[in-house]
Amino acid sequence: MKKLSRREFLKLATNSLLGLSGTFALGGLIRFLSYEMEPAPPSEYDLGSEVDYPPGSRTLLMHIPAVLIHSNEGYLAFSLVCTHLGCTVEHKDREYECPCHGSKYDEKGYVTRGPSNTPLKRLRVEVNEVGSIILHMV
């Protein structure tokens, strides 16, 4: 290994110290900016009484956005957020279409046309003790 001259050593020391302090500052900046100001979106929604969702009904819940289907097999709910890039899919003639990049899903949320390759996210439906429907987002 080449012997460092005094001048080279001091230069190296200066540069590495400056670099280190710069890295610290950058880390601090990233930490400073990574605070989440808003609370995370709710993990569950109370959809009100079961009576409002009779068998055979399909209810679009645009504030979530999600859809709740009550069929003979029970409740089925899935998110209306396109799994491709997150636009809200629109319900059009017995299928769901994304306005952004044209993904299509069938009545049960399965992909019928790309670019999306994962079905719409299934949401767990629960009926609590007082007969309200609870939609679990996670």
Partner 1 sequence: MRTNPSSRKDKCHPRAAQFARIFLFALGVLLFISANLLLTETVKASQNQQANGTPTPMPSPTPTFDMSRLTRPELPEVPSQADQGLQTFFGVCIACHGDRGQGLTDEWRLGAYGEDSDCWQSGCHGKDHPPQGFEIPKTLTFPALGTASSLGRFENAQQLYDYVVVMMPWWKPRSLTPEQAWQITAYILKLKGSLPDGLVLSETNASAVPVHRLISTPQNNNTPIFFFIGMLVLTVLGLITRDFFARRENAPPPNLIAGPVIRPSFVSHLHPPTIPAMQSRWRYTLGAGGMAVFLSLVLLITGLLEMFYYIPTPEKAAISVETIVSFVPLGALVRNLHYWSAQLLVIVALIHLARVIFTGAYSAQRKFNFLLGLGLFVLVILLDFTGYVLRWDEGVRWALTAGTNLLKSIPFVGNAVYIFVLGGRDAGPAALLRFYSWHIYVLSLVCGFVIVWHLFRVRRDGGIAAAPVTERETTTRITRTDLLKREVLGMFVGGIVLLILAVLMPAPISSPIRGGTILDADSSAPWFFLWVQQLLKSGDPFLLGVLLPLAVIIFIGALPYLFKDVKQNELGRWFPRSGSIVQLLFIIIAVIIMALTVLSIVNPL
The residue ranges that bind partner 1 (CB under 8 A) are 30, 33-38, 40-41, 62-65, 84-88, 97-102, 114-115
By beta-carbon proximity to partner 1, the closer residue of 1 and 30 is 30
Rounded Cα gap, residues 64 and 45, in angstroms: 8
What distances in angstroms separate CA 52 from CA 59, 91, 106, one per listed residue? 9, 20, 24
Helix (H) or strand (E) holding 70: strand 66-71
Q: Per DSSP, what are the bridge partners of residue 118?
A: none
- What's the closest the beta carbon of residue 125 comes to partner 1, in angstroms? 20
By beta-carbon proximity to partner 1, the closer residue of 12 and 100 is 100
By beta-carbon proximity to partner 1, the closer residue of 65 and 131 is 65
- What's the closest the beta carbon of residue 52 comes to partner 1, in angstroms? 18
